Structure 1
Amino acid sequence: MNHPIAQRVPGRRPAAARRPGRRPAPRPAARRLAPLALLCALASLATGCGIRATSVPVDAGAAPSRVGCVLPEDRERPDGDGADSIVRLYLVCGSRVSPVEREVRMPDGRSATERLPVARELLEELQRQPGAMEDTAGFETAVPNDLKVSGSRDGDPDEALRLNRSLDALPPFALAQLVCTLADTAAADADEGVVLGGPADDEAAGPLRRYECDTALRTHPEAAETAGTDV
């Protein structure tokens, strides 16, 4: 019996002619690597994706300034031997005033008679330029070299100190340095406040003001202009 001849489907190879087990031809390597390269590029933002750092210098601009405001731990600390005492001075560092320790020859005691000598000695220390270690740590001083301090005039309270400049003419950072340095010394009052005024011979120098070295004054010295209370 004759079988009808199988009809061929145009464009299709007869099933008998197909090679069993033949795999599709692999895609070109470039097509396979393209998605991998994209994935690696994205991952390198976080992990580096195994890419070595280039040895070619890249100009990314100046590094941010980091001011420590802390002296090295291994420095030679003052020991207060002999007639010298360890005093705490407040210097400008960044946007605040911060303490440093120095060895200074100070008057003995904390009586009212020592108020002016102590204030003068500490003022001279504040006017000195910072030493090498202090400078490296970011410390500086804003106290003018021509600033002077004198005692109270008639009618002033005993704890008052007079400057040769009016308080409003003094840089606020310098005023913050002076207040915080004099507080807790014989130059302060019984409650560690500092009473300051302008020139003793100038009636227009303004009222006496009492200051305290609180956190606000240390961290925001620019507010020293309005920090005091009238006496």
Structure 2
Amino acid sequence: MIRRGRRAAVRRVVPAAVLALAAAGCGIRGTSVPVDAGGAPSRVSCHAPGTGAVTAAGAERVAVYLVCGSALVPVERQVARPQAAPGAAVRLPVARVLLAELQKPPAPDETRAGFSTAMPGTLRVDGPRAGDAPEALRLSAEPDDLPSFALAQLVCTYGRSAALGRSGGALLGGPGSAAAHRYDCSPDVQANPDAAQHAGWGDPQSEES
């Protein structure tokens, strides 16, 4: 009877010892509390892919600002050259081309590099209305009602565009009667796009100065 009891005790102890050794061998400390280890480490490069050395006939290269991680990074795209008269009349066609690029889903190589866009697909852009500065652009939504990352993308893409004057910002208004305000593409906005919604509190029509 005693021997039989000892054998049963050994059978209970051995599996527990094996499990303890296995845990020790894996470097894992046993715990009865569930542990959230978080997501897998990010391996995105945020390195903007090139568009190739050759620019197609009738096309030009533009930079659009996409989201990567928690910042904005310029990505080069090839677009059809807008057909418009020189001068102020070219601004609206260029603004529409750039907005359309921001609304496109990133290309596969851009996605692999970690890029995305926050731009609503329903947003539209129009030219200045009576009383606006010639540089003003009117959106189909109030700028401050846009997602902060989308507003930052738009401001930096427009503000750094050679065709729009490389002004470093954008004079934007909405569909209402409120005056357009200048939003600046500062280093802080590029590093922290949430700041874009606080970058438009300058004087209305301030881009005229």
TM-score class, shorter-chain normalisation, is 0.7 to 0.9
State the SS of the aligned residue for 2:154: helix
Contact 2:67 2:118 in 1 (8 A): yes
Question: Compared with structure 1, are the counterparts of its residues 110 and 185 closer, same or farther at alpha carbon in structure 2 (3 Å cutoff)?
Answer: farther
**Aligned partners of 1:123, 1:77: CA distance in 2, in Å?**
22
- Greater gyration radius: 1
Determine whether 1:210 maps to 2:187: no
Question: After the TM superposition, which residues 100-139 of structure 1 pair with which residues of structure 2 at under 5 Å, given as runs?
Answer: 100-107=75-82, 111-139=87-115
**Aligned partners of 1:189, 1:230: CA distance in 2, in Å?**
20
TM-score by length of 2: 0.73
Give the alignment partner of residue 148 of structure 1, picking from 124, 127, 134: 124
Partner of 2:6: none
Contact 1:78 1:101 in 2 (8 A): no
Question: After the TM superposition, which residues 173-184 of structure 1 pair with which residues of structure 2 at under 5 Å, given as runs?
Answer: 173-184=149-160
Determine whether 1:64 maps to 2:41: yes
TM-score by length of 1: 0.66
Give the alignment partner of residue 230 of structure 1, picking from 200, 203, 208: 203
**Aligned partners of 2:163, 2:203: CA distance in 1, in Å?**
18
Determine whether 1:95 maps to 2:60: no
Question: Compared with structure 1, are the counterparts of its residues 137 and 188 closer, same or farther at alpha carbon in structure 2 (3 Å cutoff)?
Answer: same
Contact 1:79 1:86 in 2 (8 A): no
- Unmatched tracts of structure 1, length 5 or more: 1-53
* Partner deviation per Cα, 1:147-202 (whole Å, 9 max, x = no partner): 00001111000000000001121111001101111123366457343100001xx2
Report the structure, 1 or 2, having the larger helix content: 2
Q: Percent identity?
A: 46
State the SS of the aligned residue for 2:120: coil
The alignment's C-alpha RMSD in Å is: 2.6
**Aligned partners of 2:113, 2:198: CA distance in 1, in Å?**
29
**Aligned partners of 2:163, 2:131: CA distance in 1, in Å?**
18
The number of residue pairs the alignment matches comes to 171
Question: Compared with structure 1, are the counterparts of its residues 189 and 84 closer, same or farther at alpha carbon in structure 2 (3 Å cutoff)?
Answer: closer
Question: Compared with structure 1, are the counterparts of its residues 207 and 93 closer, same or farther at alpha carbon in structure 2 (3 Å cutoff)?
Answer: same
Contact 2:72 2:153 in 1 (8 A): yes
**Aligned partners of 1:63, 1:194: CA distance in 2, in Å?**
38
- The one-letter code sitting in structure 1 at the alignment partner of 2:63 is R
Question: Compared with structure 1, are the counterparts of its residues 94 and 81 closer, same or farther at alpha carbon in structure 2 (3 Å cutoff)?
Answer: same
**Aligned partners of 1:91, 1:160: CA distance in 2, in Å?**
23
Partner of 2:13: none
**Aligned partners of 2:155, 2:78: CA distance in 1, in Å?**
19
Worse overlay, 88-97 or 178-187:
178-187
**Aligned partners of 2:137, 2:192: CA distance in 1, in Å?**
23
- The one-letter code sitting in structure 1 at the alignment partner of 2:193 is P
